[in-house]
A = this chain, B = another copy of it.
């Protein structure tokens, strides 16, 4: 780790100098570990995507791409049943979309709100901006108290991952609609995992310009390596936010790949069915091992064992070739978040947990 001197740090904005970088989940490069830690899709992406990439590679890469990833917007508007492409903003991963949202709405010293525990990146984005974040704790049943929806003058943005991580739980769309009505600032519904859920909030966008829905192709379309996400919002909101984005934020190849992906509805339905069946088997077996497992609408399960040795379980799995996620949230407690992999990957991991629990 490179250390910065006081002199170096003084060149930077103070907000930056005092913050720590966001640490994403472990990404071992050697390929020897089974990864059940960052909610990737265990399958290869739709075959049409691979074909689209190779075709685009022979296209005019020497020319700038569409500044708005227009082919994707047109396809996505059609597939999602939106009035037109002007309801969509494409980004270099939904991470870039989230960055644009924080930059668009939250000034230095202003605040954004997030539930706790949820996606820690939101806090990092506030830190980078020199803004303040406030957390509202989930209730024990993963519903949210009225405090999450209460307006405040300095509050410029509220972020709701739905389904949430690490819980995989969902706030019902009619409940989200009420939250948005109550808040005076925009409410971002982060639907990174929505393709594994039973509902979504796209309809709310038409009803209220303060509802903004973000999505990613990383999880359900098995394209974490590609970096493509998008925002659905009313056209006047998209137009303002577009001022922030880099001129050509989505490259020609990613745009071609994402366009092919969003049109792969059949592939998505089949993959979803497979992963949901595995999720149910995982759930049942974890319950059988004595875990308290939260019913999930995402491609992962949040589980806690009365035994409490979550960190030891994580380390035991890692030592034996399986990477799962150990999470410890101050004020909430710790647990394990396990991604839904293939049946074989999941069985391998659960065999390890079973051995650990029964052999002590």
Show the binding face of A for B, using Cβ within 8 Å: 1-5, 8-9, 11-17, 19-22, 24-25, 27, 29, 35, 38, 40-45, 49-50, 53-54, 56-67, 70, 86, 92-93, 95-96, 99, 103-108, 121, 128, 130, 156, 185-186, 209-210, 218, 222-227, 235-240, 242-244, 246-254, 257
In the complex, what distance in Å separates the CA atom of A235 from the CA atom of B239? Answer: 37
Chain B residues whose CB sits within 8 angstroms of the CB of A3 once the complex forms: 236
A57→B50 contact, CB < 8 A: yes
Q: A2-B236, A53-B253, A60-B225 are in contact. Are A248 and B24 (CB under 8 A)?
A: yes
B226→A251 contact, CB < 8 A: yes
In the complex, what distance in Å separates the CA atom of A29 from the CA atom of B70? Answer: 11
Question: Smallest CB–CB gap between A280 and chain B, Å?
Answer: 21
A-side interface mostly: loop
Chain B residues whose CB sits within 8 angstroms of the CB of A13 once the complex forms: 103-107, 156
List, sorted by A's number, 18 A–B pairs whose CB atoms are closer than 8 Å: A2-B236, A4-B236, A4-B237, A4-B239, A5-B236, A11-B156, A12-B240, A13-B107, A13-B156, A14-B107, A27-B67, A40-B62, A44-B60, A61-B223, A62-B222, A63-B225, A95-B247, A251-B251
Chain B residues whose CB sits within 8 angstroms of the CB of A22 once the complex forms: 243, 247
Q: A8-B209, A248-B227 are in contact. Are A243 and B19 (CB under 8 A)?
A: yes
B4→A62 contact, CB < 8 A: no
Residue of B nearest to A218 (CB): B64
In the complex, what distance in Å separates the CA atom of A104 from the CA atom of B17? Answer: 9
A44→B62 contact, CB < 8 A: yes
Chain B residues whose CB sits within 8 angstroms of the CB of A27 once the complex forms: 63-64, 66-67
